[in-house]
A and B are shown apart, each in its own frame.
Chain A
Amino acid sequence: MARAVSTRKKLMWTGLAWFFGLLIFFPILWTFLTSFKSEGVAIADPPVWFAFDWTLENYRAVQERSNYPLALTNSIVIALGSTFLGILIAVPAAWAMAFVPGKRTKDVLLWMLSTKMLPAVGVLYPLVLLAKWLGIMDSRILLVVVLMLINLPIIVWMLYTYFKEIPGEILEAARMDGANLKNEIIYVLTPMAIPGIASTILLNIILAWNEAFWTILLTTVSAAPLTKFIASYSSPEGLFYAKLSAASMMAIAPILILGWFSQKQLVRGLTFGAVK
């Protein structure tokens, strides 16, 4: 950006940004610090910042009380499974809408968006009934399917915006060379749309990872992911803040790490897919 900004002004803006950044980051930092304190230090008044006896006691206690590896595995399976299932269904649909727009394409897209807006409670009970009838309550497969359905509109919408950027002539050329539809999508469209697809996948993994409404309702123990794990610490243990912080850190650490390493992709996904 070639806008003329003086050095002093720039320093001021940077300072302001740092201030906001710290303000926003503070709750996460505080949770992190507290997770290493003893319960007594955690609620000390005035608060202790760094000078305390760092302890792993809370992590050990959380680990003993609940099955963290199981919750973590469930979260990973559910987030990845629902995202990839969604991509599998959404790629052909987005292809159709982007390259073979019919009279109804706009309507379908609009309708997809409005299902995203409609409150989930509308389909809540029928889904629970169906799951009970099929005998798959509290199973990973149920959560994979349900979360896929919840996020499908946003997956299709994002993929559609990416695919629209790809010139249709290239696909046409591939077809002229004798590629059939399957090969056209797998060998021509997908490689060109990889950045877009990657961003979509990332965003949806995060959305699925954080989905609490459905996961808490549809699971009890064996398929319970990290959202349920952390929710179980909220009410009965409300006053044990250090343990609660440790549990929170255990629940969010994987996603924070993923976010840090893939932030470029993620920001791209959040912005590109949404702006166009």
Chain B
Amino acid sequence: MASIDTDARSRAGRRPNRLFKNMNAKLASLPMMFTALVVFLGGTIWTITYSFTSSGLLPRLEWAGLEQYARLWSSRKWLVSIENLAIYGFLSLILTLVIAFILAALLDRKIRGEDTFRTIFLYPFALSFIVTGLVWQWILNPQFGVQDVVRDLGWTNFNFDPLNNPEIVLYGLLIAGLWQGTGLIMCIMLAGLRGIDEDIWKATRVDGIGTVKTYLVVIIPMMRPVFVTSLVLIGSGIVKLYDLVVAQTSGGPGISSEVPAKYVMTSMFGGQNLGQGFAASTMMMLSVIIILIPWAYLEFGGRKRG
């Protein structure tokens, strides 16, 4: 009886409360919404608008139609940048996920000193891309880096000089990028593995399913949310790829390791060519939207509504 009573009372008390709460909720989100709207939306619209102008040294509202875009897509440097980012992005996505998962599975074996390993794996993440790029520029230096060490060990024909070879310079960047970013993803995956019920392992053992197969068939599908989070983090890192390139290769040799963000920066602040920079950033935003938004809606939006 008493419980029904309190139930009814709280229900009655909730209604005006709810309205009041909604008011407060709107007020509470206001600062965030304001900054987000003004800066992100405003800035984006501004950039897109000026990408249709002939702005050079200074932004000018002088309509030029699609001229900047035509120039952009006939620029070889831009095409190389796009291709580089696509290759780098694809490889870094796959390799980060695979390596991070294997490392996480390794640490999940309850090995001694797990905390120490986690910290070590996370350390590269605590370094900025600038430092990462510089350190790896050096390790990959043919005179005293990896190539030299391996040659001293006896393999005198060993050739690994990615930073001076336009064909493979991207892999030099990739190694440094993986080194920097894998630890974070590994930690997230480790947490995901820890969240999996011990009974599931027992059940697969009883059914005689091997460890590797258990990971592939049972565990990975269960870790779907973890993989989604990892994808978001890796993806946002890939689009931003800039400081690593600047520190490690400066886009060279030649233009072989240029990336879109660098193209934008160079046109805006190096080439006095604002319109090109705006057009290039608009293309970058557009491609991110085309790739991400539908997928993100399926992933985050759909679940709630469905």
Contacts and interface: CB of A to CB of B under 8 A. Distances in A.
Q: Are A and B subunits of one complex? A: yes
Interface of A: 1-3, 5, 9-10, 13-14, 16-17, 20-21, 24-25, 27-28, 30-31, 43-47, 89-90, 92-93, 95-97, 99-100, 102, 106-127, 129, 149, 152, 156, 175-176, 181, 206, 209-213, 216-217, 227, 230-231, 233-235, 241, 244, 248, 251-252, 255-256, 259-260, 263-264, 266-267, 270-272, 274-276
B199 to A, nearest CB: 10
Contact of B126 (A20, A259, A276): A259
A210 B123 CA distance: 13
A252 B126 contact: yes
A122 B240 CA distance: 11
Interface of B: 13, 17, 21-22, 24-29, 31-33, 35-36, 39-40, 42-44, 46-47, 50, 59, 103, 106-113, 115-131, 133-136, 138-139, 143-144, 148-149, 152, 179, 183-184, 187-188, 190-192, 195, 198, 201, 225-226, 229, 232-233, 235-236, 239-240, 242-243, 246-247, 250, 260-261, 264-265, 268-269, 274, 277-278, 280-282, 284-285, 288-289, 292-293, 296-297, 300-301, 304
21 contacts: A13-B111, A24-B120, A27-B124, A27-B139, A28-B124, A89-B32, A89-B35, A99-B25, A117-B292, A119-B261, A121-B284, A124-B47, A124-B268, A125-B50, A227-B128, A233-B134, A256-B123, A259-B123, A267-B122, A270-B122, A271-B191
B243 A212 contact: yes
A-B pairs, top 9 by smallest CB distance, nearest first, are A123-B43, A271-B191, A92-B28, A210-B128, A96-B25, A100-B25, A93-B32, A121-B281, A126-B43
B117 A270 contact: no
Contact of A117 (B148, B236, B300): B236
A274 B236 contact: no
A20 B124 CA distance: 13
Q: Provide the main secondary structure of the chain A interface.
A: helix
Given A89-B32, A124-B268, A230-B131, A43 B187 contact: no
A231 B124 contact: no
B193 to A, nearest CB: 10
Given A1-B110, A10-B109, A25 B47 contact: no
B128 A123 contact: no
B115 A93 contact: no
B263 to A, nearest CB: 9
Contact of A234 (B121, B198, B247): B247
